[in-house]
Structure 1
């Protein structure tokens, strides 16, 4: 299936969900917290699918990795004064 077909299927399912939520509201009433949450969640799903549909309609631009320039100048030695060489022990001590 293509993305367009999948989005159409999801949209049909959301339409079915909206109809079912409407029927439940008629039977249970719309004042309860649970019903408001279900109605709100269904609306959020509808908005999310609309965003997906918009994103899928736009052609994806090829993404170039962001290059990071690493300078050739040496690091400042004062950055390493209070550290141990990892895995080698302290500067003034010898390995056992």
Structure 2
């Protein structure tokens, strides 16, 4: 299945959940804390699915970052002539 199909399936399930909650409220005759919590959670899931749908349909969405090749060749030692060894102190002094 495609991403669009999967998101549509999730949306349908959330709609079914909302209808089931409405029926449950009618059968019990009250809206308890538990039902309100499930409604709130379902609302959060709807928002998350909307964000996923927007991200999936974004035209500029990168599929994965470009890989950077790191050479195995040693670095040019002249790059490090003006710096001290980090964590070891200066060359002419003893480390603590």
1:17-72 alpha-carbon deviations (Å, 9 max, x no partner): 11111111222311x22111111111111111111111111132252368xxxxx4
Over 3 Å counting, the alpha-carbon distance change for 1:63 and 1:24 in structure 2 is same
Corresponding residue for residue 65 of structure 2? 63
Corresponding residue for residue 93 of structure 1? none
Within 1, Cα distance between the matches of 2:24 and 2:95? 69
Within 2, Cα distance between the matches of 1:78 and 1:26? 75
Corresponding residue for residue 85 of structure 2? 75
Structure 1 unpaired stretches of 5+: 67-71, 83-96
Kindly report the root-mean-square deviation, in angstroms, between the aligned alpha carbons of the 2 structures: 2.8
Within 2, Cα distance between the matches of 1:55 and 1:7? 12
Q: Give the paired residue count.
A: 78
Corresponding residue for residue 91 of structure 1? none
Within 2, Cα distance between the matches of 1:54 and 1:21? 27
Within 2, Cα distance between the matches of 1:43 and 1:15? 11
Q: Which runs of 4+ in 1 moved over 4 A?
A: none
Structure 2 unpaired stretches of 5+: 69-78
Task: Give the TM-score normalised by structure 2.
Answer: 0.65
Within 2, Cα distance between the matches of 1:39 and 1:15? 11
Corresponding residue for residue 12 of structure 2? 12
Give the SS at the match of 2:89.
helix
